[in-house]
Amino acid sequence: MLEGKVAIVTGAGRGIGEGIARLLASRGARVVVNDVGAALDGTGDDAGPAARAVEAIRAAGGEAVANTDSVAERASAARIVEQALDSFGQLDVVVNNAGILRDRIFHRMEAPDWESVIGVHLMGSFYMSSAAAGHFRKRESGCFVHFTSTSGLVGNFGQANYAAAKMGIVGLSKAIALDMARFNVRSNCIAPFAWSRMIGSIPTDTPEQQARVEKLKRMTPEKIAPLVAALASDAAAHVSGQIFAVRANEIMLMSQPRPVRSVHRGGDGWTPEAVVEHALPALAASFYPLDVSADVFTWDPI
């Protein structure tokens, strides 16, 4: 399905990224496995995860090389793309999966918590996409798969930095899809549900929390990879600008913001008083509640 293609998968030393890299390789892609090997909060580095993922791919008969450059800096992101071109002569797919977490309730969130998460998720996705865009344009072909989250699409507590980054990625993906469609370049987003170290810190102090974690553990990282492989293939050449979610064996197409209700006023238009008296009550029936992801996805993983 992916024979002859070259893919970069960031954050591919463990978890979701490793599952993606291994499946792409099993379907014929040559893969650059990028992972700095940092802790969950982005600190430290370790070449081991990327090297072990490459060893596993090669042991299964695939082709892969390891890369430990950071996506959060423009120059190092460019080196990741350069390595793909140097190692395999081309580049067809970029999977922007790398991420970190620094959860804090908003009034306690410090600037470094905000900047580091935005830096890896949003800036990293931009730097990687920007580094690959010129090559894709010349070849008049290419595929981006970015990772968003229901933390941004729906909501979650204590993740203002993560949610903002993930919603920024949605806008980035749509802009790339629009700007680069004439070059046959596609860009889509996936919101993954999977048990990984990114959510492994969920508390298990109560029976309810323990039951929730057991359900989450059924959503293995490998469940995300098939959609990525499909989107990376030529069979999905018509799919761009979309937002998907994967939850165990479920694949969902997510909505995108569109007007849901409107009001108008003749004459001189609206005054603040008229907005309060007329517009807000008229629109209130369509207001969204302050949901979090668990309020929307209320059924057990399938």
**H-helix segments, the chain:** 15-26, 48-59, 74-88, 111-118, 124-139, 150-153, 160-180, 207-217, 225-232, 272-274, 280-283, 293-296
Q: How far apart are CA 223 and CA 260, in angstroms?
A: 33
Q: Which of 126, 162, 193, 244 is catalytic?
A: 162
Q: Distance between alpha carbon 285 and the CA centroid of its chain, in Å?
A: 32
**Of 101, 23, 12, 9, residue with least CA distance to 49:** 12
Contact by Cβ (8 Å): 252, 243: no
Nearest-5° angle of CA 180, CA 151, CA 113? 95
Q: How far apart are CA 41 and CA 172, in angstroms?
A: 24
Q: Which two tokens stand for residue 283?
A: 């629109």
**Is there a catalytic annotation at residue 288?**
no
DSSP per-residue codes, 120-188: IIIIHHHHHHHHHHHHHHHHT-EEEEEE--HHHHT--TTBHHHHHHHHHHHHHHHHHHHHHGGGTEEEE
Could you give the C-alpha distances from 257 to 153, 188, 243, 260, in angstroms and in order?
Answer: 10, 16, 11, 9
Contact by Cβ (8 Å): 28, 4: yes
Read off φ and ψ for residue 260, nearest 5 degrees.
Answer: -115, -20
* Residues assigned a catalytic role: 162
